[in-house]
Amino acid sequence: MADEDILHNVKNHFYLGNLKQAVIEAKSVDPPTSFSKEQRSFYLLRTYLDVENTQGMLELVEEAKASPNSKFAQFLKFFLAYLNKEVTGEKLETVCQEFITNPDFNKHPLVMLMVGLILYTENNISKAVLAVKDQSNLEMQALKLVMMVKNNRVNLAEKQLDLMKQTDEEATITQIAIAWVQLLTADYETAYHNFHELSERFSSTINLFNLMALCMTQLERYEDAEGLLQEALTLSNENYGKDDATTLINLLVVTFHLDKPQTEIDSLMGRLQQVDAHSEFLQKFVSGCEAFDNAAAN
């Protein structure tokens, strides 16, 4: 298998949210070049980050020490410090800017993608855009599309999607982006069918169940949305032994629409508290209830 194809399945599973299978695939391949080895570490790192596998991330950093001259290995040291909150605020922005302007690093696509993701996570969109300038890299294009949506520039996101299609319309990440933009532009029926096609072509994942449920919610087909979200929770517990917080939040929204009993709402809120006690949704909900109680008392 060609170097550029050897991680094809790893990428697809990662993009679709099939994280458990992404790890299995990544560990089953033997990348032939130093860059493809870095790519495998890149996707494993992001997968471990998503499933909160700290030990897995530390092992990747240790493995990287075997290649001290690798720019990606050098970047991983900084990334670990970032995760440990040793680099924050202005210092974080300064270091990221140094990566963006340093020719030893800014030509490395994996480093620039990670810098872009960090800055996006920190809500520094203007700097993040500078990190993902390579229009030949589909994942950079996809991240730029997400940034445009976050800035409520759907028109620019559509133009970015056109660029992704020109690069590789059949790529899984492009197909996901197509369906996502359809969802954002209120073409809910078409978006649902495209997400469903992806789930049939590859496999059903928690992410795809949630995206299909969101389409059904927008179409006011709440019972269908509820069924999809229940399937997502089943899959989450089978794969990770716990509820998925995003799925619980979406299920709570659907439960309100279905006018379910308060006991069911309370049960879902309790489950959300267990898996994500600091959930922004949970905090806003509690705050809203307190504000309502205070207003009613007066």
Rounded CA-CA distance 10/230 in Å is 26
Q: What is the pLDDT of residue 2?
A: 47
Q: What is the pLDDT of residue 287?
A: 65
Burial of 95 (0-12, 13-18, 19+ CB in 10 A): middle
pLDDT at 296 over 80: no
Tokens, residue 182 = 């359809």
Q: Kindly indicate the confidence band of residue 291, based on its pLDDT and cuts at 50, 70 and 90.
A: low
Q: What is the pLDDT of residues 61-88, one digit of tens each?
A: 888 877 777 889 889 989 989 988 999 9
pLDDT at 4 over 60: no
What is the average pLDDT score of the chain? 90
Quote the percentage of the chain above a pLDDT of 70.
94
pLDDT at 1 over 50: no
Query: What size, in residues, is the chain?
Result: 298
**Mean pLDDT for the stretch of residues 234-253:** 95
Range with lowest mean pLDDT among 22-26, 217-221, 288-292: 288-292
Q: What is the pLDDT of residue 286?
A: 67
Q: What is the pLDDT of residue 297?
A: 62
**Mean pLDDT for the stretch of residues 130-151:** 89
Q: How far is CA 159 from CA 144, 163, 164, in A?
A: 11, 7, 9
Quote the percentage of the chain above a pLDDT of 90.
71
How many C-beta atoms lie closer than 10 Å to residue 7's C-beta?
Answer: 22
Query: What is the pTM (predicted TM-score) of this model?
Result: 0.88
Transcribe the chain into DSSP letters. --TTTTTHHHHHHHHHT-HHHHHHHHHH---SSHHHHHHHHHHHHHHHHHTT-HHHHHHHHHHHTT-TT-HHHHHHHHHHHHHTTSS-HHHHHHHHHHHHH-TTTTT-HHHHHHHHHHHHHTT-HHHHHHH---TT-HHHHHHHHHHHHHTT-HHHHHHHHHHHHHHHTTSHHHHHHHHHHHHHTT-HHHHHHHHHHHHHHS---HHHHHHHHHHHHHTT-HHHHHHHHHHHHHHHHHHHSS--HHHHHHHHHHHHHTT--HHHHHHHHHHHHHH-TT-HHHHHHHHHHHHHHHHHH-
Half-sphere exposure of 100 (CA within 13 A, CB side): 21
Nearest to 20 by CA among 146, 200, 212, 204: 204
Rounded CA-CA distance 238/142 in Å is 30
